[in-house]
Amino acid sequence: MGEYFFMFIDTIFGFFALFVLVKFLGKSQLNTLTPFDFISAIILGELVGNALFEKKAGITEMAFIMVLWGLLLYITEMISQKYKGSRAALEGQPSIIIHRGYLMYDALKKNRLDLNQLQHLLRSKDVFSLEEVEYAVFETDGTISVLKKSDYQTPTKSDINIPPSPVKLATTVISDGEIVWDNLKEAKLTEQWLINELKQQNVYAVEEIFYAEWQGEQQKLFVMPYYTVGKGT
């Protein structure tokens, strides 16, 4: 009977300790579950499970394990936020697997996706034909983001007799106060062009910008300064 009592106490403690740990790490750990986060969750569950059924392990040992593991996850998250170069290794990078309506075979192979898996992911986005897709991005959490061709967007332009227009994929040119040089070069843009665009919006330093994206010559540069970040819930 005593063993069941101690198991009851350990379980209650483990439940509330996990709740506190999830609150401490933040919602992003649940919303963007990367492969590293997935492995971490499995290991944490294994550690708590072993502590529950190990006679020599009590609340003190369980608390030590959970605090230690929580600190490791927190430090890893802080490293990825502070040092941008570590994000690719810790969180992975999204991959464009359909580009301007063409399937990128190398990207599929790199991400170990076959055609059936791709079709399954597309169907989850209400896309039942590859012909409908202009761009598809395979995200780091295993989901897919889809930008349909203009003819297939809702409501479709063909339904209201409007000629189709080219679809543009937004290009990130500033992230966390730094210029994304590869994207700027791929879009055939220059640093001077970017500076001039920022000045038109009364911004005189790249460091003031949290995020900026460009969608083509017909669109104005979208800028999100640091002072606008964090508003709302």
Residue 78 is predicted with a pLDDT of 79
Is the CATH number of domain 94-152 3.30.240.20?
yes
Cβ partners under 8 Å of residue 80, min gap 6? 86, 87, 90, 91
**Which tokens in the block code for residue 155?**
């409501």
- pLDDT confidence tier of residue 232, bands split at 50, 70 and 90: very low
Q: Which fold has domain 171-228?
A: CRO Repressor (3.30.240)
pTM of the model: 0.54
Span 66-111, pLDDT tens digits: 777 777 777 877 777 777 766 666 666 788 999 988 888 888 888 8
Range scoring the smallest mean pLDDT among 91-105, 169-183, 219-233: 219-233
